[in-house]
Structure 1
């Protein structure tokens, strides 16, 4: 978790006599730490998402500050603060225009404001912000997993501005990076990326890790805001490098029912993985929702074993593909001619295969009611 540039320097004009000259669109950039760097070889000191202060001791030509700003941008700096004084007497217009173009906030502070005092204060505020975010994440997890007294936990959330009747939407993200298998690094990258988008929409946001998944909690976001978040996330994500599966819960009021809502996000994410989709919304799972809400899971398992399970067992023992054949038949609305065309086989062969399926399972794929039985069997298979 991080604090945004705008929140960090919201009262900077009063506290530090700061002036924002450029990059206002980058005020939602996240800040993890702060540095004073006078060396213009900045890349060796930074990891990204940092605020950099400089007095420009090495500022000895007209282009120095612009090149410095470009280097900061290239390593993902969140904001740039210049101490105006004997080394840097002013900010050239071309530097202001550049910072505006890349949405990197550019501030100035007067020489009388000591950079060490400002950075010490900022570091303290960043650490306090991280402590608060960690406490919020821990509390919402305790509510979800029913650890501790619920009323006490709800009171703790309300002290942080998360009211008991707020609307909560959970987003579960499963991910895989084809080039970097470091789970901690990948989790941090997704959290930072997600948080930057989320906080540009609304401030109430929580994230935590669960079973190698990143869980996001959007609080008091409208349905439109949630769609906006997901669309922005996918629009700017690197599909070539990352494999992503996202599950979205319902957007529900009342903090007391969020344990079920959390599980809906996980269910939708698992369905996205099984179906090879980037996103699945629990509200749009249709018949899966009915099956998922069945309290007797053994009944579903027995139903599957009595239909598709019999066919899969036969395929395994006889090296056949009747299960796939039946699925294609159902997907083509039970049209024998379409199946024959797509499989490059005679229609009589299709009919013979269907008779074989009936013999194995005891159900006739040509009968409407028993066709529905097979459909349900495939749906249940996806859940098991």
Structure 2
């Protein structure tokens, strides 16, 4: 369970009489802790993702509240709760406008609500969730190393229905469990992230049992490789096609044979045309559209290719397409060395 600002707000809105002053704010932010801050000089000690509460004793003095809010945002605080009372009787319009413009979560809470109560409630749940997360992380790590113990099973049962994701960059989204192994980040989640353009992520099919996790991790890893080949941010395992076959091959001799098969193809234009023709199952029209050329040009190139390769049977075509895919995989693997 991801302890986000949205989670706490919807579960405790009535209990603590919280009022969201910025309805368009991004509440999908993880909360790491809750702090009472009354002095701007203490903002530099924040580590990020903290929910801040202030009574305004010092922070609401004339000209102080807006710079305080801006500094909290710079320190990546996940939101601010204003304890309305003797120090803050109303929210300055400039503060409200800035928070709305920057989608910064701003809440109001009545003076009658005890700050100690909300802090204890939130922090206890954060600590409890951290312990649970540690158990999930340990169990997921054991599963990825194919070393599942009996005590891991009850924890891993909670992974049913989750996707397993593998990314080459750390992602920020509500995950169920998270492990870093080497340069890769593994996530179990029921939701899919918004992946930055510069990152690559592979997604498995939903986990059906704890013992399927190692297989799903392998599948997600293959999808990650294909996402890099295709320059996609996110690729599902179910969509990788023949790459699944290629990525299951670990014999260097097979890759050498594939390279030899394509070796007569020295003309880049012919190479591009053949690959497109194979991927489009021999459709001249589809090749012409993809490569932005006239059908006659495609037909001419295919005639030239038939003088180099046997292109009459499905087996011959599949061998050539596999060779192209193996070339892709070899290129990616070489870039990792």
Give the TM-score range, shorter chain: 0.7 to 0.9
Among residues 184, 189, 192, which one is paired with 1:213 in the alignment?
Answer: 184
Length-normalised TM-score, structure 1: 0.65
Tell me which residue corresponds to 1:306. Answer: 257
Specify the SS of the correspondent of 2:88.
coil
User: For the residues of structure 1 that align with 2:146 and 2:163, how far apart are their CA atoms?
Assistant: 18
Tell me which residue corresponds to 1:84. Answer: 84
Matching of residues 41-80 of structure 1 within 5 Å: 43-58=43-58, 59-61=60-62, 64-80=64-80
Among residues 325, 328, 331, which one is paired with 2:275 in the alignment?
Answer: 331
Among residues 320, 324, 330, which one is paired with 1:378 in the alignment?
Answer: 324
Tell me which residue corresponds to 1:178. Answer: none
Matching of residues 287-306 of structure 1 within 5 Å: 287-292=242-247, 297-298=250-251, 301-306=252-257
Could you list the runs of 5+ residues in structure 1 that have no partner in the other structure?
Answer: 176-186, 199-204, 315-320, 356-363
CA contact (8 A) 1:246 1:269 kept: yes
Specify the SS of the correspondent of 1:253.
coil
Deviations 1:159-206 (A, max 9, x none): xxx26xx3121121113xxxxxxxxxxx4xx3xx223xx6xxxxxx22
CA contact (8 A) 1:47 1:75 kept: yes
Length-normalised TM-score, structure 2: 0.73
Could you list the runs of 5+ residues in structure 2 that have no partner in the other structure?
Answer: 279-283, 295-299, 331-337
Deviations 1:208-262 (A, max 9, x none): 212211222123x5xxxx4xx4xxx14xx4x4xxx31111212343333222111
User: For the residues of structure 1 that align with 2:257 and 2:74, how far apart are their CA atoms?
Assistant: 60
Q: CA RMSD in A?
A: 3.8
Matching of residues 225-264 of structure 1 within 5 Å: 226=192, 229=193, 233-234=194-195, 237=196, 239=197, 243-264=198-219
Tell me which residue corresponds to 1:168. Answer: 162
Matched length: 308
1:271 Cα deviation from its structure 2 partner: 2.0
Gap change, CA 1:85 and 1:249, over 3 Å in 2: same
CA contact (8 A) 1:83 1:111 kept: no
User: For the residues of structure 2 that align with 1:310 and 1:86, how far apart are their CA atoms?
Assistant: 81
Specify the SS of the correspondent of 2:152.
helix
Tell me which residue corresponds to 1:278. Answer: 233
1:57 Cα deviation from its structure 2 partner: 1.9
1:56 Cα deviation from its structure 2 partner: 1.3
Specify the SS of the correspondent of 1:30.
coil
1:38 Cα deviation from its structure 2 partner: 1.9
User: For the residues of structure 2 that align with 1:112 and 1:290, how far apart are their CA atoms?
Assistant: 61
Tell me which residue corresponds to 1:133. Answer: 133
User: For the residues of structure 2 that align with 1:112 and 1:104, how far apart are their CA atoms?
Assistant: 19
Tell me which residue corresponds to 2:281. Answer: none
